[in-house]
Structure 1
């Protein structure tokens, strides 16, 4: 019996895996991971004291008792343990979802739809979609799971390929190919290659991919694969969906088989996310009536496409994350709404050499728009050269807050708040 099999036997009777010693549950297994500013090995004994059955470390000097076990690399061990668990539960179908924008919303909508048929739907929680979160998500999958929806994020090439090896998905969907994490991918071609790693894996395994037939990149790169296609215009698609646009509506609506579905999600950019969840639901034989109920009941949270009304101002909160593609899509939608409008935008991070140019493009869009005032927050926006009478730049949130009382927003109809996660613009909501 090797170390993976030995630990897996203990894990099978444990309360789960934990990587934070302070959150250790009684009967769990602590895996000591290392980061730029921390070394989990230092907390191995603390985890045991807090009730962990075992602590797994990759530094021998912290092996201070029989319950602390040494391995060469704890992250690699975490991956191998997840692979072994998935192998043991290979009968459970998994849908993998990746893409530059909308993957969390799509995952949540898909989960909601599938829950109308399956009592035990496993899915990615929080933002556990990276090289640490994905194996932890797999290891949280119980034996009575009926179906799973797992989100894959990526900041560089070959990351999705590696996560697919851990997940071993039976189905896959790519939301889109946008300008996200350009610093790691170098260019848009790198982004496309990265996302298509999901297709490469599914094709080798002869598995099925869900395709947005209105996306030429998805269509051309899935030729020869088992695929299930939805589209608003392509003939011969498995599912035909009509996107409905109601002027000034802050809800998204579409129609399938002459039945209208109205989602609380704002923005035309969310229509394909809703459509993909419906398509997956139809593939798994869920009735349109049940899917309509699931979609219309789903309320966005975590600062993704949320709407808050304060002082008669409708505030659109979409500040969980931002990249050039999602920012332009949000601004385009916002520009189509009639009324007095203000935007509060934060820096878009992880763009590398493209950063300045992409921020300048955002300012150019605002200049030509019917948006009244744009408050731009962050060091990158602050250093841009473009400016206009409707642009106000602030080097940080503190500086913006100090200057807020100079500007009157009381006669404003709408405010859009959007920026990268690290900027945390949601802290400004209650100052309005």
Structure 2
């Protein structure tokens, strides 16, 4: 069995790390992970044939078949320990980022702002779980990086603690705490505890946290830890004294800087303005000139189904179809309801991972939608049926095929459209039909 130190020497011979035989780069390290329905050990020799330099396996029979198979007791644990070992070679700050909503957008904004002054590495896409975080760290070249931004996601308690102990952040940010992954966390209080594990880690290690001063939940979480942990004093508060000042929320957020300059973003809503404010605060902390930071925010334009503004003929679409939970859905629906527009329609899909709370949360969403008086309400997915009692005029489709057909048969004109649902709904698929 290889030790972590010995494995690290092998890793240093490789170009990158892969867990997917469909993405084998020349001379990479292939890690054979196990899943509920697959065993990566079965593909180790295939990875070597495709160009991998080594294959990390935890099956002795497979390891015996090739001298470039590296045997460990558990490939997942070995991957995580390898990433931690590599992290400890970094001589620069690592910012850990979590939250119920807005993690990826905030991560990208922070990276864009910091890149105005530093060589920055950040999580690619949504690689933010117990596999993605190690892969993120292992893709960082310490010789070419001055700051790292690592996104951490979780759907149950103790996961943020695990990820924190792998990436060992020196700085941290929680975007918000809301109703996300209620089934795994065991309710809202479980979410609060789970996300708070990042604060706990930074309190334990004397790290620095950034806290939205206008978020009562985050302020309370910070205060609790300051009371019980004397060295939890490295706190940077932002959105104090309303600077930057939000001017408009729709169709995109605009704000006024401390010097009076008005900045227009490509992101709708107050919830995205808070993400912008976090990026600006972190940029200021690390010495990025204000003008450069604001330019980075103004230039950022999402292209990943998150908070995108897309023009389709005479229609303007707010495409926010990457994910959804009760907190983010409520924020999006309320913000869209306040937007001035000639005609407004919503196309909303199921919110996943709510467990026993799903009927009640979808019913509550129906009540909220009814209060907005939209011109057209279209609902899709199994659990959206629970929203219907409050919405007698809504169109409901249990599947996307019938949804697509209806939209094609009933074309919209001069309409602002909000599209939002959980990732599994894939509601971006309706865009070509609008």
Q: TM-score range by the shorter chain?
A: over 0.9
Partners of 2:207 and 2:85 in 1: CA distance: 20
Q: Deviations over 1:323-376 (max 9, x none)?
A: 000001000010011221010011000010111111111111111212111111
Paired position in structure 2 for 1:327: 329
**Any stretches of 5+ residues in structure 1 without a counterpart?**
235-239
Farther off after superposition, 380-389 or 359-368: 380-389
**Paired residue secondary structure (1:222):** helix
Over aligned residue pairs, what C-alpha RMSD do you find?
A: 1.6
**Any stretches of 5+ residues in structure 2 without a counterpart?**
227-231
Partners of 2:235 and 2:205 in 1: CA distance: 13
Q: Deviations over 1:351-407 (max 9, x none)?
A: 101111111111111112121111110111135551434311110101212333453
Paired position in structure 2 for 1:365: 368
Partners of 1:312 and 1:249 in 2: CA distance: 15
**Contact preservation (8 Å) 1:99, 1:176:** yes
Paired position in structure 2 for 1:237: none
Paired position in structure 2 for 1:67: 68
Partners of 1:101 and 1:241 in 2: CA distance: 21
Q: How does 1:32-181 map to 2 (within 5 A)?
A: 32-63=32-63, 64-89=65-90, 91-118=91-118, 120-144=119-143, 145-181=145-181
**Contact preservation (8 Å) 2:247, 2:253:** no
Partners of 2:205 and 2:214 in 1: CA distance: 25
Match of 2:292 among 280, 290, 293: 290
Partners of 1:2 and 1:367 in 2: CA distance: 60
Match of 1:312 among 314, 323, 328: 314
**Paired residue secondary structure (1:316):** strand
Length-normalised TM-score, structure 1: 0.94
Paired position in structure 2 for 1:228: 236
C-alpha displacement of 1:252: 3.4
Q: Deviations over 1:68-123 (max 9, x none)?
A: 1221111011001011111122x1210111000011111100000000001x2010
**Contact preservation (8 Å) 1:306, 1:316:** yes
**Contact preservation (8 Å) 1:232, 1:243:** no
**Contact preservation (8 Å) 2:210, 2:237:** yes
Q: Deviations over 1:261-295 (max 9, x none)?
A: 22111112111100000000000111111111111
Partners of 1:251 and 1:203 in 2: CA distance: 33
**Paired residue secondary structure (2:48):** helix
**Contact preservation (8 Å) 2:252, 2:264:** no
**Contact preservation (8 Å) 1:15, 1:28:** yes
**Contact preservation (8 Å) 2:254, 2:262:** no
Q: How many equivalent pairs are there?
A: 423
**Paired residue secondary structure (1:129):** coil
Detail structure 1 runs of 4+ shifted over 4 Å in the superposition: none
Partners of 2:396 and 2:281 in 1: CA distance: 43
Paired position in structure 1 for 2:415: 413
Q: Does 1:381 align with 2:389?
A: no
C-alpha displacement of 1:132: 0.4
**Contact preservation (8 Å) 1:252, 1:268:** no
**Contact preservation (8 Å) 2:41, 2:57:** yes
**Contact preservation (8 Å) 1:318, 1:417:** yes
